[in-house]
Amino acid sequence: MSTLVTFHAHPDDEAIATAGVMAKAAADGHRVVLVTATRGEHGEVVEGVLEEGEPLAKRRTAELEAAAEVLGVARCEVLGYVDSGMMGTPENDRPGSFWRADLDEAAGRLAAILSEEGADVLTVYDDHGTYGHPDHIQVHRVGVRAAELVDVSKVYEATVDRDHVRRLTELRPPEVDEAEMPDPDTMDLGVAAERITTVVDVTGYLDKKRQAMAVHASQIPETSFFLSLPAEAFAAAFGQEWFILRGRRPDGVVERDLFDGLTG
């Protein structure tokens, strides 16, 4: 069996972007390791979730660990950087922010984990960070550099099929408010389908994916777009996860599993 390391910016990113492949890998007997760069200190908090005086970082760390348990993660680590907030906000420049981290220093922290684990597969984000968040862009930069340092066999950029999302907006279920639907063009979300090399069917793990989202209650309320979708619409939106395999040119042949070609 092989080892999958998924690298994310904040707690809850793993539930949205790669929960399906993580749960699938664990069910198939692979070792799954989850690493986040930050504890999500500057996330927007759902009203009424935090106890009086409770730090958001503490709550989000607990949510991360709960999601990891749901998904069958064997090891969960945080690199220790500070959430950088959205692009152009003052948090970008605060001491310790991930956005301002030295690339080689941060890559060294991740590379140490990759080396300890003998990682065969690493997921990062695409070069735009999926939607332009500074910490997501930095995950791409740091993850790619770390993989170079330890020579990981396969590095995948987690992304979103922008064309698929456009189709979903046209098929919006009546119970979902139009304002809640993501607009891929306004958000500059994901990439064109032709850039995607790998599409993993995770419909068999949607219960785990939804449960992982739900435990991040400080960020994803039951009334959110993610959790308010009826079952059929949720499956259409989240039943597949998209990746770009670094070093491979799209050739029309879509890979269906992150572990294809590995013998470990």
Evaluate whether residue 190 is within a structural domain.
yes
Evaluate whether residue 254 is within a structural domain.
no
Question: Contact 169/183 with Cβ under 8 angstroms?
Answer: yes
pLDDT per residue rounded down to tens, the chain (264 residues): 999 999 999 999 999 999 999 999 999 999 999 999 999 999 999 988 898 889 999 999 999 999 999 999 999 999 999 999 999 999 999 999 999 999 999 999 999 999 999 999 999 999 999 999 999 999 999 999 999 999 999 999 999 999 988 887 765 555 555 545 567 777 788 999 999 999 999 999 999 999 999 999 999 998 888 898 889 889 999 999 999 999 987 677 899 999 998 865
Evaluate whether residue 175 is within a structural domain.
yes
User: In which order are the strands placed within the sheet that holds 154-159?
Assistant: 75-81, 31-38, 3-8, 121-125, 154-159, 240-245, 198-201
Evaluate whether residue 256 is within a structural domain.
no
Per-residue pLDDT, 176: 54
Question: What CATH number is attached to the domain comprising 113?
Answer: 3.40.50.10320
CA distances from 235 to 89, 200, 209 (A): 34, 13, 10
Evaluate whether residue 29 is within a structural domain.
yes
Please list, in sequence order, all residues whose beta carbon lies within 8 angstroms of the beta carbon of residue 207, skipping any fewer than 6 positions away. Answer: none
83 SS3 class = coil
Evaluate whether residue 108 is within a structural domain.
yes
Domain extent, residue 209, equals 3-245
- How many structural domains compose the chain? 1
Evaluate whether residue 263 is within a structural domain.
no
Evaluate whether residue 196 is within a structural domain.
yes
The bridge status of strand 240-245 relative to strand 198-201 is: antiparallel
